[in-house]
A and B are shown apart, each in its own frame.
Chain A
Amino acid sequence: EAQVTQNPRYLITVTGKKLTVTCSQNMNHEYMSWYRQDPGLGLRQIYYSMNVEVTDKGDVPEGYKVSRKEKRNFPLILESPSPNQTSLYFCASSLLGLTEAFFGQGTRLTVV
């Protein structure tokens, strides 16, 4: 089954404790992207990757890091999480940037 898998689905952590949210897709897509969703703000793009070893900033990259060492994986790293990063995070992939994006089921992160 074609899918984008995010882990974990739920995470509660403390300020400053480094964390990684994993994202994996099994559709051989070149393009992957991370978003955060906050009430009233829609989805905002954090980082995107057009292919392996190619990443670029979206609209809200501050406080986040990504890497794309393999085509299927695109982890999101929060080196020092802060409470304002409490949000619902989505990973997405597509064959090319403009084709249908397949989204993961989301990771709800709470930073206390």
Chain B
Amino acid sequence: TQLLEQSPQFLSIQEGENLTVYCNSSSVFSSLQWYRQEPGEGPVLLVTVVTGGEVKKLKRLTFQFGDARKDSSLHITAAQPGDTGLYLCAGNPGGTSYGKLTFGQGTILTVHP
């Protein structure tokens, strides 16, 4: 089983601060996705990255896929209370395990007004 280690597990910051969440593995993934989940709801996809070194931006969120496709990061600029939630990374190993999706443990982000 391929593992994805997410850090930090908990993040509590003030509105306006910047933050970065990391997702690391010793294994290569063919693609990696980031999801956001709110209490009582299922995860919602934020982005998919597929190319090593790829950087994608979604308003104040910047996602990066490592050159070796073993790690990824999510950076939020000027966090707002509406960013509060559980952030999950998920990797697909590809190949014969095309349908598998491995999730990290998640990062619980709280942004205080």
Contact = CB atoms under 8 A, between A and B. Distances in A.
A56 interface: yes
Nearest to B30: A98
Interface string B92-107: 1000001111111110
User: Which of B41, B48, B90, B100 gathers most chain A CB within 10 Å?
Assistant: B100
B31 interface: yes
Interface residues of A, number: 28
Contacts of A40: 9, 105
Given A59-B1, A97-B92, A105-B40, A48 B100 contact: yes
A98 B100 contact: no
User: Which of A31, A41, A42, A97 gathers most chain B CB within 10 Å?
Assistant: A42
Contact of A106 (B42, B90, B102, B104): B42
B103 A97 contact: no
A56 B99 CA distance: 8
Contacts of A35: 103
Contact of A42 (B31, B100, B103): B103
Interface string A75-110: 000000000000000101000011111111110000
A45 interface: yes
B45 A58 contact: no
A103 B92 CA distance: 17
B101 A42 contact: no
Given A33-B99, A59-B100, A98 B48 contact: yes
B42 A44 contact: no
B78 interface: no
B18 to A, nearest CB: 24
A98 B101 CA distance: 9
A45 B102 contact: yes
A35 B92 CA distance: 15
Contacts of A99: 48
A43 interface: yes
